[in-house]
Amino acid sequence: MKTPVKRSATSVYPIANKRTEEGDLVYPTVLRMNATPVYRFLSLIASRLSEGETVRRRSILDCGCGGTVPPLAIFAEQGMEAVGVDVSERQLQQARGFVERAGLDIRLRRADMRDLPFPDASFDYVYEHYSMCHLSRTDTAQAVSEMRRVAKPGGLAFLGVISTESWPPSSYGEEWASGERWMVEDGDEVRHSFFSDAQSDRLVADWDVLLKEKAVLHVGGEDLSEADWAALRAEAPVPRSAEEWAAEYERRTDYVRYVHTYYALKKPA
Ligand SMILES: C[S@@+](CC[C@H](N)C(=O)[O-])C[C@H]1O[C@@H](n2cnc3c(N)ncnc32)[C@H](O)[C@@H]1O
């Protein structure tokens, strides 16, 4: 029998159930952004298991594992040996708090995904979500190479980059290098890197690509005023006159989007 994927994201992420007095979800994006790729990867893993095989005691590494809703929780619930690294002690503390409250067995340690402190071929599975996107494009390539090094031959990986289809670029701050932007969030400098399809395909060229998928994680634009919209004309996907751009205002929510390119990968045996 194939390994069933147990429980729903809301059982592992209690925060995802938190509602306002009106009954609206407080964090509706938690499920879409954090849990969907986990289940996507778990389904792919399950589809490649032989009859009778399970993921119990298979090892998984999460690169950039910190934060209040650690994806590793879901992998650990499947019985996997879960290991996570993160550079930020603050983010690790949040993840540790969650892991303790949930009573899960997860090894969390401080480390940089560009220089993973594990021998070659250590893990059956490697996972990364919404963490590598904070690295420069050069460092992203280094992190992907480290993930490949620590994956076992035949091992699987899941990772994502922000697509250049995300719009508008200025919502990620100022461009400081080609394809890289920075902004200040809660007093911290936050960087985001962007990849076209051809660029992200090159990043994973040493792996077998099992799945490549565009995920629109967020659409928006409703709140833009006509003046805000006019100011975005300089970033229009194709050049538009002021009149043409103003006429697009009604369709602004067709433009504003946050797109990731996800890959499920196999390290050649
Ligand atoms: C937006 S959070 C995402 C956390 C988690 N992956 C999730 O999906 O909820 C990004 C995380 O990446 C971590 N990070 C950034 N650069 C890193 C690096 N070079 N090595 C390891 N972790 C890193 C940050 O500290 C942060 O915890």
Q: Which residue has the tokens 């394809």?
A: 179
Q: Residue 33 C-alpha to ligand 1 middle, in angstroms?
A: 14
| Least confident stretch, 6-20, 57-71, 180-194 | 6-20
To test the pocket of ligand 1, the residue of 27, 90, 96, 134 to mutate (highest count of ligand atoms within 8 Å of its CB) is 134
Residue 125's CATH number:
3.40.50.150
Tokens of 80: 């996997």
| Residue 253 located in a structural domain | no
pLDDT band at 26 (very low <50, low <70, confident <90, very high): low
| Residue 119 located in a structural domain | yes
| Residue 203 located in a structural domain | yes
| Residue 235 located in a structural domain | no
pLDDT number for residue 68:
86
Tokens of 185: 């969030």
128 lines ligand 1 (CB under 6 A): no
| Residue 31 located in a structural domain | yes
State the residue range of the domain holding 81: 9-164+175-219+258-266
129 lines ligand 1 (CB under 6 A): yes
Can you tell me the mean pLDDT for 119-136? 97
Q: Tell me how many domains the chain contains.
A: 1
Q: Nearest C-alpha to atom 27 of ligand 1 is from which residue?
A: 66
Peptide bond into 28 cis (omega under 30): no
How far apart, in whole angstroms, are the C-alpha atoms of residue 57 and residue 81?
5
| Residue 4 located in a structural domain | no
Give 223-249 pLDDT, tens digit per residue: 899 999 999 999 999 999 999 999 999
pLDDT number for residue 2:
43
112 lines ligand 1 (CB under 6 A): yes
Q: Is 169 exposed, middle or buried (0-12, 13-18, 19+ CB in 10 A)?
A: middle
To test the pocket of ligand 1, the residue of 131, 142, 144, 262 to mutate (highest count of ligand atoms within 8 Å of its CB) is 131
pLDDT number for residue 30:
59
| Residue 240 located in a structural domain | no
192 lines ligand 1 (CB under 6 A): no
Cβ atoms of 149 and 115 closer than 8 Å: no
Cβ atoms of 216 and 261 closer than 8 Å: no
Share in percent of the chain as helix, strand, coil (round to 5)? 35, 30, 35
Give 134-176 pLDDT, tens digit per residue: 999 999 999 999 999 999 999 999 999 999 999 999 999 999 9
| Residue 1 located in a structural domain | no
To test the pocket of ligand 1, the residue of 40, 86, 99, 132 to mutate (highest count of ligand atoms within 8 Å of its CB) is 86
Give 102-112 pLDDT, tens digit per residue: 889 999 999 99
Q: Which atom in ligand 1 lies closest to the alpha carbon of residue 128?
A: 6
Rounded to two decimals, what is the model's pTM?
0.89
